[in-house]
Structure 1
Amino acid sequence: MTDNYKLSDYLLDVVKYMGSDDIFGVPGDYNLQLLDHITHRPDLSWKGNANELNASYMADGYAREKGFATFITTFGVGELSAINGLSGSIAEHVPVLEIVGAPTNKVQNNGSLVHHTFGDHNFDRFEKAHRALGIKSARLDSENAINQINEVAKYIYETKNPAYIILPTNLVEMEVNKSLQNDIQNLFTKDTIISDKSEKQIVSAINNSKSPVIIMGHEVDRFNVFDDIKSFASNNNIPVLDLGLGKGNIDESFDNFVGTYNGQISDEDINKYVENADTVILVGARLTDSVTGGFTQQFDESNTIVLNYDNARIYGKDVDSDYNFKNIINALSTTKLEISLNAVNGNNKEIELTPSNNTLTQSFYDNAIQNFASKNNTIVAEQGTSFFGLADKRMPKGAKFFGQPLWGSIGYAFPASLGSQIANKNRRVVLSTGEGSLQLTIQELGLAFREKLNPIMFVIENSGYTVERVIHGMTEPYNDVPKLNYGLMPQAFGAKEDEYDFIEVSTEKELLDAMATAKEETDKFVLIQVNMAVKDVPTQLAKTATAFANQNK
């Protein structure tokens, strides 16, 4: 770095402080000077992607593991390519910052007909597109740039939502006072709000119940409050479930955890906990169609206490205005209720598998993945057969799990899994994806080998888009995909022979043997092609697909 302290240095210091050690993206002429400031720093690493969409997916996966991520695109063509991924981050509440390198303020103010625009003198249409999607944005200017950066950083820290900064090239080298560097930590101190009145309202409502149950969602992870919920549940013998949106970010091995809830299509023993509850305490949850069995949850606002980061409701009525999500959950962690409940003993037994030479089925595969997962694994499941087959499987203590059930953008899981692996190389990512989804983002195999990543990737080869087949058009050609030769892919994307292993399996025994090999080959990228029948569908996917089909009528 130069001796002088520049605006770009300050922006990158903020990004570094917030947790991004690695920055994703694609170079373009409007961001190249900023990239120099990354590559010349010893404390940041540039991870260049094959395209901007993949960069946004990868940043999302990184943020789910590390708590924050950053990616950089160029103006217009780059940011529009990435906007789908950033939209997924806002839909599923993932703290990601996109920095867009843009033409100079002079060029924009003059309305010059430069490249990466529509040639109509209009430079704010792309920012308006992001604002219309609810993504906080800031177009930096010379007079207010520091305050603009600080405002965006505080917004991401406090809300855990994504944001978007436009950095005109003329500001990259603008000198700023280096003493600002010492003030960065002060951006992220937040006054503690005492929520006495709200706490009393909520505790009183729970005390008036006889059989409460807790259902957790994705905000439990984003705001890191699981330990508080675990303590509250254990102190008061309250059963705990999670939703597919948010699953695996908590310890599913503790006694009070009884399973993953998916509306009426959940297993009968899980449904009983919800059916028998007179009060459902929803913590950081969003009740979407794909995680409630198509809106078949067995409760409504009349018996629900909702605790989300931005609002709280008790049986349909808002709580008092002093409510603060993290403070309330923290206060509940030491709360001993007046009600007396029997101890909960959640079923946490490993499924026994007796492999044979029988053709591999989706059911056997899903159970095998559950048994395969270990405490240092992050299981990433692509939307479709992988997610719906694995979402109800119990994860062992220490293991993590995520997918994208709300936004549901196919192709997301592969780059997101690599982002997660880059964020924490001490954990080994296990990806389960369909061949149709993988074809959208397979270009990032090159990055995986360049960065010497060693995940385990299961590719389900069942000749097409299974979710869509079940919803409509089981045998229609639009649900078919080209068959790829996955054994040739690693070397085609730059892998050396000793850097990967490719295994193709079609039977139960072959699958378990491949899993055993993968566990031993910790220094390799292990790619396992899993062959299954076209119409072999996980039970929960079949039921959910029917609900989706009915919604579209």
Structure 2
Amino acid sequence: MTEYTISDYLLDVIKALGADEILGVPGDYNLQFLDHITHRDDMKWVGNANELNASYMADGYAREKGFATFVTTFGVGELSAINGLAGSVAEHVPVLEIVGAPTNDVQNAGKLVHHTFGDSNFDRFIQAHEALGIKTTVLDAKHAIDQIDETLAYIHTTKQPAYLVLPSDLVNALVNPALQGGIANRIAAKQEQNVDQSVAAISAALADSKSPVIVVGHEVDRFSLGQAVKDFSLKNNIPVVDLGLGKGAVDESFANFVGTYNGTISDEEINQFVSGADTVLVLGAKLTDSVTGGFTQEFDDSQVINLFAAAGSIYGQSLPADYDFVATLQQLASTDLNLKLANVQAPAGDITALKATDKALTQAFYDRALQEFITADKTLVAEQGTSFFGLASQNLASGAKFFGQPLWGSIGYAFPATIGAQLANPSRRAVLSTGEGSLQLTIQDFGLALKERLTPVLFIIENTGYTVERVIHGMDEPYNDVPKYRYNKIAEAFGGQADQYDFIEVSTEQELMDAMQKADQESDKMVIIQANMAMKDAPAQLIETGIRFEAQNH
């Protein structure tokens, strides 16, 4: 009979939660654990170029699939990854980091081993993660199974990241193989709760509302509550907007969806639904500067029913003790408030057909073209900057997905996140829109994408540097310049074979449309499209946001 170890059990739980691939970087404190991954036939090790990319890639994988795991080594590896894991905390993404650590004997003896400060303190990296609000667990031999169960159940029920330290002497510690049989029950989601009091309180607060509006945020997506929000809206004729942080959490093609809200920067037709509301139902949202036009949302606590994962309140007063975010929204989905509101009249938007010419490519045309290109079977990942601010305001087709990172805003995130999304679901085409400056931070994992024969479409906006920074400050300053890469050589340089990829450079509207058509035809290849645009060409919402960010810094 094959021996069954702590490592095997940990991987069985990870597999049960839906991660078929484990990301990360090998290091001597995790190598024996990696053996347990590579020796399985139901799970795959996918090695990254560096730990930061692994953490970004895991974030994209988890947004696509619902959960992801990556592995680093102690000290040097985990600190390289901590920026990406912090982004998963900020934006509520369920990711597990496993850190291979020195043996308990080494730690207890205080030995001066590598990947430490040479001061016998093995706790400082755990403390660093704790300081960021990340759930931390250090496995010990006596309680390891319970610790694994508790940590993975936490991720599963809260959709928040966690950090698990695996000392290398526990990797092959034997446990009872019968444990395999009870994993589903031990990690199961909490039972449906009775939230009658909370729903009654919300219903009473809405009873006299004449012009309510629903504002949807990212937690609606993390807990898969988009359909519940849609059902509640339709049953009660309440208009719905989403935020850039939460873009696509609800079907943007349904009748009551009126657009993506960004404070007073929003199109006026969208803004009126919020500014004219007497009750604002904020669902799973963080009202951050970059998705509220620099805090210009036109409502205050006296108008807000705020429901999110950690708590709920009505006009600033906490909801009853039975409040539970998921159960409350699920029950609201079938609640008829009898408001007798008129049908929602959503803005028509720009209904003119997009006609390509031989004119130079502009950001405005590019954004409209991407909107048409992102069909139901695609996931769009937009890098913070020109891509995010230009594309977040475009309505998505039904079934399409949109990933961005407007709160954490770590440039370079979007490329590995795209690779993670494509790895998580090969049946959906992942589409990246990034500036060349951001891409240069994480370009190393082109090699991984080609090695795994992944087939995303990668739009690289070549506009001579950090446009998002230029519009905030220093339009012509050299610190916003970046080196000019030869993107036509990138795939080849990272090991790509001629039949694996296509590179297309576009400078006009028609060239972009032709490239998109070709990308759809070449679904079995990675398609890299270099989109050349003018240095100072930026989306209107980004320009306005930049003005407000600059003002905040004075």
TM-score interval, smaller chain = over 0.9
**Greater Cα offset, 323-332 or 84-93:** 323-332
Structure 2 residue aligned with 1:297: 297
Q: Which amino acid aligns with 2:551?
A: N
Distance 1:348 1:332, change over 3 A: farther
The 1-side partners of 2:431 and 2:192 are apart by: 39
The 1-side partners of 2:284 and 2:49 are apart by: 34
Structure 2 length normalisation: TM-score?
Answer: 0.99
What are the Cα deviations for residues 347-382 of structure 1, in whole angstroms up to 9, with x where unaligned? 377552121111111001001101111110101000
Structure 1 residue aligned with 2:482: 481
Q: How far is 1:276 from its partner?
A: 1.5
Identical-residue share of aligned pairs (%): 63
What are the Cα deviations for residues 286-322 of structure 1, in whole angstroms up to 9, with x where unaligned? 1000000000001011101001011111011111111
Indicate conservation of the 8 Å contact 2:230/2:250, yes or no: no
The 2-side partners of 1:304 and 1:189 are apart by: 29
**SS of equivalent to 2:126:** helix
Structure 2 residue aligned with 1:549: 550
Structure 1 residue aligned with 2:526: 525
**SS of equivalent to 1:497:** coil
The 1-side partners of 2:177 and 2:551 are apart by: 60
- How many pairs are equivalent? 552
Indicate conservation of the 8 Å contact 2:30/2:168, yes or no: yes
Structure 2 residue aligned with 1:314: 314
Structure 2 residue aligned with 1:273: 273
Structure 2 residue aligned with 1:70: 69
Note if 1:421 corresponds to 2:437: no
Q: How far is 1:467 from its partner?
A: 1.1
Indicate conservation of the 8 Å contact 2:217/2:249, yes or no: no
**SS of equivalent to 1:80:** helix
Indicate conservation of the 8 Å contact 1:350/1:371, yes or no: no
Structure 1 residue aligned with 2:459: 458
The 2-side partners of 1:440 and 1:143 are apart by: 42
Q: How far is 1:189 from its partner?
A: 3.9
Q: Which amino acid aligns with 1:291?
A: V
**SS of equivalent to 1:166:** strand
Q: How far is 1:344 from its partner?
A: 1.6
Note if 1:126 corresponds to 2:125: yes
Structure 2 residue aligned with 1:262: 262
Indicate conservation of the 8 Å contact 1:305/1:313, yes or no: yes
Note if 1:243 corresponds to 2:243: yes
Structure 1 residue aligned with 2:172: 173
Structure 2 residue aligned with 1:143: 142
What are the Cα deviations for residues 377-401 of structure 1, in whole angstroms up to 9, with x where unaligned? 1010000000000000011011100
Indicate conservation of the 8 Å contact 2:229/2:250, yes or no: no
Q: How far is 1:457 from its partner?
A: 0.5
Unaligned 5+ segments in structure 1 are: none
What are the Cα deviations for residues 65-124 of structure 1, in whole angstroms up to 9, with x where unaligned? 110000000000000000000000000000000000000001001110000000011100
Q: Which amino acid aligns with 2:86?
A: S
Structure 2 residue aligned with 1:233: 233
Note if 1:158 corresponds to 2:157: yes
Indicate conservation of the 8 Å contact 1:348/1:394, yes or no: no
The 2-side partners of 1:450 and 1:351 are apart by: 42
Indicate conservation of the 8 Å contact 1:52/1:78, yes or no: yes
What are the Cα deviations for residues 249-302 of structure 1, in whole angstroms up to 9, with x where unaligned? 321110010100000000010011111110000000110000000000010111
Indicate conservation of the 8 Å contact 2:281/2:304, yes or no: yes
Query: CA RMSD, aligned part only?
Result: 1.0
Pairs within 5 Å for 1:204-243: 204-243=204-243
Q: Which amino acid aligns with 1:337?
A: L
The 2-side partners of 1:166 and 1:178 are apart by: 22
Structure 2 residue aligned with 1:52: 51
Unaligned 5+ segments in structure 2 are: none
Q: How far is 1:186 from its partner?
A: 1.1
Pairs within 5 Å for 1:339-418: 339-346=339-346, 347=348, 351-418=352-419
**SS of equivalent to 1:522:** coil
Q: Which amino acid aligns with 2:478?
A: P
Indicate conservation of the 8 Å contact 1:250/1:400, yes or no: no
Structure 1 residue aligned with 2:323: 323
**SS of equivalent to 2:499:** helix
What are the Cα deviations for residues 111-157 of structure 1, in whole angstroms up to 9, with x where unaligned? 10000000011100000000000000001111111111111111111
Indicate conservation of the 8 Å contact 1:309/1:325, yes or no: yes
**SS of equivalent to 1:498:** coil
Structure 2 residue aligned with 1:186: 185
The 2-side partners of 1:304 and 1:20 are apart by: 37
Indicate conservation of the 8 Å contact 2:247/2:403, yes or no: yes
The 2-side partners of 1:161 and 1:398 are apart by: 24
Distance 1:359 1:348, change over 3 A: closer
Q: Which amino acid aligns with 2:77?
A: G
Indicate conservation of the 8 Å contact 2:157/2:189, yes or no: no
Q: How far is 1:433 from its partner?
A: 0.2
The 2-side partners of 1:399 and 1:457 are apart by: 17
What are the Cα deviations for residues 3-59 of structure 1, in whole angstroms up to 9, with x where unaligned? 011000000011111111010000000000100000000110101000000000000
Note if 1:84 corresponds to 2:83: yes
Q: Which amino acid aligns with 2:411?
A: I
The 1-side partners of 2:72 and 2:185 are apart by: 28
The 2-side partners of 1:182 and 1:227 are apart by: 33
Structure 1 length normalisation: TM-score?
Answer: 0.99
Structure 1 residue aligned with 2:4: 5
Q: Which amino acid aligns with 1:367?
A: R
Indicate conservation of the 8 Å contact 2:358/2:508, yes or no: yes
The 2-side partners of 1:339 and 1:144 are apart by: 54
Indicate conservation of the 8 Å contact 2:156/2:189, yes or no: no
